[in-house]
Amino acid sequence: MLKNAEFTNKLRSSGLRPTKQRLKICEVLFNRDHTFHFTINDLAKNISRELNEKISLATVYNTVHAFKKKGYLKEISINSDKSYFDTNTTNHHHFFDEDTNELIDCDDKIIETPKIKKNILGKKINSVEVLVKVATDNQNQK
């Protein structure tokens, strides 16, 4: 649970001006007990629900991308329709529920990060992520 002043410092220290839009977005994204996944549209809706003045959609895009560049958010591609973002910036894996389109985090206790036995020559590994797609089993019991 960070306060406004702490967000201000965090933003300043990463070279981002602490505007009221950015502070509001920080509050919505980071003033929480748990990390979560969202789309830009989810976020825009959340903000406008809580806020009297609106934040322009362009600003939401700009801010989310700025935060991603600074490492405060991760982008996750599961389906090509829209981008998901993640306030959990640690290395972790996901279940994707194809029934509900829900993304669920899972750590190394549930899925061990696989070892890469041989890398591409001259390249550095930036991330290793596992995606498990699940859906209701329509193949009822035999």
Please report whether residue 122 would count as binding its own copies according to CB under 8 A. Answer: yes
Q: CA-CA distance, 6 to 36, in Å (whole number)?
A: 20
Closest of 82, 95, 100 to residue 130, by C-alpha: 95
Q: Give the dihedral sign, CA 76/78/84/87.
A: negative
Exactly one of 5, 6, 9, 20 binds DNA (CB under 7 A); which one?
20
Please report whether residue 141 would count as binding its own copies according to CB under 8 A. Answer: no
Exactly one of 26, 29, 55, 73 binds DNA (CB under 7 A); which one?
55
Please report whether residue 27 would count as binding Zn ion according to CB under 5 A. Answer: no
Interface residues for its own copies in 67-96 (CB under 8 A)?
75, 77-83, 93, 95
Least spacing, CB of residue 76 vs its own copies, in Å = 9
30 neighbors 87 (Cβ within 8 angstroms) = yes
Q: CA-CA distance, 33 to 59, in Å (whole number)?
A: 25
Q: What letter does residue 118 receive in the DSSP assignment? A: S
Instruction: Give the per-residue contact string, 52-91, with Zn ion (x = CB under 5 A; - = no).
Output: ----------------------------------x-x---
7 neighbors 27 (Cβ within 8 angstroms) = yes
Contact residues for its own copies (CB under 8 A)? 75, 77-83, 93, 95, 97-99, 104, 109-120, 122-137, 139
